[in-house]
Amino acid sequence: MTRPAPHSLRPSPVALRAVLLLVASGGLAGCDMIEGLIGGGADAACAEAETLLKAGDLPGAADAYGAAAADSPTAACAATGYAFTLLQQGDTSGADAALALAEPEAGEALPQIKLRRALVALQAGNLDDVATHAKASGLPQGKLLAAEVALADGEREDAAALLAEAKAAGGAVASAAGDYLDLIEDGDPLVAGLSEAQALWALGERKVAVQSVEELVKNLSDERGDRGDQLLIWAGRAASVGETEVARSLLEALIFAPEGQQWRRVATRAIVHCADGEGEQCLTLFDTLEGNAPSDGLADARATAAFLVADQDADLAKKLASPYISNPAARALLESGDRAAARESAPGGMLSDFLKAGG
C-alpha cells in the first residue's frame, strides 16, 4: 500500500470539519455508530499510532497508521486506523480500499469492518454502498443504517423489516429503530412521510430533507400535540443548512410556539438573518435572547449561525461564537480561520487536542 508523503497528512480545515461532522452526525441514525473507527487497541503495530491519535497529533498518527497498514495491510487495527486518518483527509476511496484489504482475513471482526465501510460510503455520499455494507454487517447499527437508506428511497416495507430486527436487539439502536417504526406505522400518511424526511436528514441529505418535509409539517393536524415542535425542529434544521425560504415558511405556519419555546423561534429567525447576510439583524435578535433563553440552547444557536457565515464573514462569526467554550463554537472559529480563538473555545477532546498540537 502506497503511503502519502508526510507533508500531505495534515488535515485541512475542510477535511477535519467533514470528519467532525461525521462523528457528530446524529438524527435517528446517530450516536455511537462511528465511535469504533479508530480501530483495535491491543495490537502492538497500532499502539504508537493510537497514542499519537489520542494526543491530538493527527499527522503523526496518520504516518504511524500508514506504516502499520503498509506492513500488515490485512490487520484489522491497522486497516481501521489508517482508514480513519484517510477519512480525515477527505480520501474516502483510499479509506474504503484500506478496509477492503482487511476483509478476507477479518474473521470475527468482519461485521465491524463492513459497518466501517458503510460509514465511509456515507461520508462519500454513496447510499447504494452504504446499504450494501451496512446490511452485510449483520449488526443492529448496520440494519438501522440500511433501513434509513431504504426509507430515503421510499421503500418503507423493506425499512420496517430491518427496523424491526434492529429494535429486537435492544439498547440505543432499539430506541432509534422504535422511533422510526412509530412514524412509519402512524395512521396519518403525513406523519408516515416524516420517516423518510428524517432518514434523509440522518444520512446527510439535509437540504433534500428540509425541502421534502416543508408541506408535510405545515399540513400536520392542529390536533396533534407535537405540530408546533415539528415546525420548530424543521425550521431550525432548514435554517442551519441555509434553506432560509423553507425556514421562514415553517416559522410563519407556527401561530403559537409551544410553551417555553418562544426563544427557539427567535433564535431560528436570527440564524435565518445570518444565513441571508443580514448580520446586524442576526446579532440584534440574539442579543434580545440574553437572559431570556437557556444558556446552552442560545450558545448552540449562535454557534450554528457562526458556522453558516464563517467562510463569508469571519468577523461576524467571531462575534457570534467567541464568548463560548464548546466544540460547536470552536469549529465555527476554526472555519473562520481564527485558530487561536478556536483553541481557546475548545473544551477538550479530539478537536482540542488537534488544535493544541498545532492543527
Kindly indicate the confidence band of residue 12, based on its pLDDT and cuts at 50, 70 and 90.
very low
Whether pLDDT at 38 is above 60: no
pLDDT in tens, 318-339: 999 988 999 999 999 999 999 9
With cut-offs at 50, 70 and 90, classify the pLDDT of residue 359: low
Cβ(345)–Cβ(326) below 8 Å: yes
Q: Tell me, what's the pLDDT at 74? A: 84
> How many CA atoms lie within 13 Å of 185's alpha carbon, on the beta-carbon side?
10
Spatial distance between the Cα atoms of 274 and 107, rounded to a whole number of angstroms = 51
The grid coordinates listed for 149 are 437508506
Pull the grid cell for residue 41.
487497541
Alpha-carbon gap, residue 196 to 182, rounded angstroms: 12
Q: How many CB atoms lie within 10 A of CB 295?
A: 11
Alpha-carbon gap, residue 25 to 240, rounded angstroms? 13
**In contact, 175 and 191? CB cutoff 8 Å:** no
Could you read off the pLDDT of 268-281 as tens digits, one per residue?
999 999 999 999 99
Could you say which DSSP state residue 49 is in? H
Question: Angle 103-108-113 (CA atoms, 0-180°, nearest 5)?
Answer: 40
Angle between helices 92-102 and 110-124 (to 10 degrees): 170
State whether residue 179 is helix, strand or coil: helix
Q: Where does the pLDDT of residue 217 fall: very low under 50, low under 70, confident under 90, or very high at 90 and above?
A: very high
